[in-house]
């Protein structure tokens, strides 16, 4: 793994510091258990977006491209790579499509059954790839000599199950396959830096567990010396130029010598907030967030067991999916408890702004017939 944290002095606060920082940034008016759909915005991000909008209204726009670079660097630190390997965009599906475009006709792509559409659909759209889907629990064992790429979510959106990353990394190394990881449901609480060494491509939206505005996504590719993993810069526009402001007209004569060649033209107001959202995640620390989130999810699982409900097994995940209870989602929402209905399962997601009181309130509501 690349050592990119030198000189970075953001410290993990003590537990009381964690609570104080969260309370200063988040003030939900509901029992919000839906971060797997959309994370809440911290106050500093909302303020930054407001200032940016006012600056444009006043005819003196702030330099929001500087916000893009700050957000890129912050995300790079969080996942343990150099910023030069990170592209900034808005959509995982776009980056899945670029990975799909890098493959030769007839290549075998291994995916997990029921994975998120943005992760897997671009490989099906190609039409000339051999896409094979297996149960998530068997994906590492299903990598074989003919497998060109494994495309899978680190954490399953529907039910929170976590792929066995050590086993999958070993399998792709053994068989010479590449690994494309959609980390959208993991960035912000899962220690991805511990696994990044054998991940060729990683994509993630930031509006869930990273508490950023919608319109922000990141894409990690191999370094330039590795030809960026063969990913073609198919949608390269002026922002993908080595000198963007000299690349506004006609063909771009020199693409960026970093992953910036895969940048989408950024949603600047979203990035104006994102850099501050990512600062919050860094200040709290992924390890502290993970411990907080999992403690609440485990308390919720224990309470569900007392009520006679058995969630989908997803050890080590802050996402709890309960079969048969999806029908209660509207009722819970009406009472101020926000969760998701995913194919009949009630999906509750516990994140840094949740508390033990949220767990109790959700269980009390489910206890009521």
Residues 6+ apart with CB under 8 A from 227: none
The CATH T-level fold of domain 286-367 is 3.90.1150
- As to burial, measured by CB atoms within 10 angstroms (0-12 exposed, 13-18 middle, 19+ buried), residue 285 is middle
Is the model's pLDDT at 64 over the cut of 60? yes
Question: Quick one: which of 227, 207, 231 has its CA closest to 219?
Answer: 231
Confidence (pLDDT) at 8:
38
Q: How far, CA to CA in Å, does 318 sit from each of 31, 68, 140? A: 15, 29, 23
Q: Which residues contact 301 (CB under 8 A, 6 or more apart)?
A: 311, 320
Q: Which residues contact 49 (CB under 8 A, 6 or more apart)?
A: 213, 269, 270, 272, 273
At which residue do the structure tokens 């940048």 appear? 263
- pLDDT-above-90 percentage for the chain: 93
- Does the pLDDT value for residue 9 go beyond 90? no
91-114 pLDDT per residue, tens: 999 999 999 999 999 999 999 999
**Rounded to the nearest 5 degrees, what angle is found at the Cα of 158, between the Cα atoms of 152 and 305?**
125
Beta-strand runs (E) in the chain: 31-32, 86-89, 108-112, 130-134, 147-153, 178-182, 201-205, 217-220, 319-323, 337-338, 340-342, 345-349
Are 346 and 322 within 8 A, CB to CB?
A: yes
Strand pairing category for 319-323 and 337-338: unpaired
Question: What pairs with residue 162 in β-bridges?
Answer: 155
Residues 190-210 pLDDT 10s: 999 999 989 999 999 999 999
pLDDT level of residue 13 (50, 70, 90 thresholds):
low
Domain 64-282, CATH: 3.40.640.10
Q: Where are the beta strands (DSSP E) in 159-301?
A: 178-182, 201-205, 217-220
pLDDT at site 4:
35
- Residue 15: the pLDDT is 75
Mean pLDDT of the chain: 95
CA nearest neighbour of 348 among 162, 358, 9, 153? 358
> Would 64-282 and 286-367 be classified into the same CATH topology?
no
CB 289 within 8 A of CB 310: no
Instruction: Please name every residue paired with 313 in a beta bridge, in sequence order, or none if there are none.
Output: none
Sorted by where each begins, the domain ranges of the chain are 64-282, 286-367
Can you tell me whether residue 210 is helix, strand or coil?
A: coil
Q: For residue 369, what pLDDT band results from cuts at 50, 70 and 90? A: low
């Amino acid at each position: 793994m690349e050592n990119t944290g030198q000189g970075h002095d953001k410290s993990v606060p003590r537990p009381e510091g964690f609570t104080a920082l969260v309370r200063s940034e988040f003030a939900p008016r509901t029992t919000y258990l839906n971060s797997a759909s959309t994370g809440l915005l911290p106050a500093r991000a909302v303020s930054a977006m407001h200032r940016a909008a006012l600056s444009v209204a006043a005819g003196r726009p702030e330099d929001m491209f500087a916000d893009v670079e700050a957000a890129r660097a912050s995300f790079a630190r969080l996942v343990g790579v150099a910023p030069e390997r990170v592209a900034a965009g808005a959509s995982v599906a776009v980056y899945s499509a670029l990975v799909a475009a890098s493959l030769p006709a007839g290549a075998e792509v291994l995916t997990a059954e029921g994975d998120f559409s943005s992760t897997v659909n671009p490989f099906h759209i190609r039409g000339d790839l051999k896409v094979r889907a297996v149960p998530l629990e068997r994906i590492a064992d299903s990598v074989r000599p003919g497998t060109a790429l494994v495309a899978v979510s680190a954490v399953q959106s529907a039910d929170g199950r976590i792929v066995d990353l050590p086993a999958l990394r070993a399998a792709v190394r053994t068989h010479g396959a590449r690994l494309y990881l959609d980390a959208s449901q993991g960035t912000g609480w899962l220690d991805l830096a511990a696994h990044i060494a054998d991940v060729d491509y990683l994509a993630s939206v930031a509006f869930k567990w990273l508490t950023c505005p919608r319109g922000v996504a990141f894409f990690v590719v191999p370094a330039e010396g590795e030809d960026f993993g063969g990913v073609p810069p198919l949608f390269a526009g002026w922002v993908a130029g080595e000198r963007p402001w000299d690349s506004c007209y006609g063909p771009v004569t020199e693409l960026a010598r970093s992953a910036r060649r895969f940048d989408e033209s950024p949603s600047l107001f979203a990035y104006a907030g994102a850099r501050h959202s990512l600062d919050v995640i860094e200040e709290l620390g992924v390890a502290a967030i993970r411990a907080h989130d999992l403690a609440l999810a485990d308390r919720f699982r224990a309470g569900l067991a007392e009520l006679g409900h058995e969630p989908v097994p997803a050890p080590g995940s802050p996402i709890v999916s309960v079969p048969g209870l999806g029908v209660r989602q509207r009722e819970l929402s009406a009472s101020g408890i926000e969760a998701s209905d995913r194919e009949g399962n009630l999906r509750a997601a516990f994140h840094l702004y949740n508390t033990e009181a949220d767990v109790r309130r959700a269980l009390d509501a489910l206890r009521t017939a």
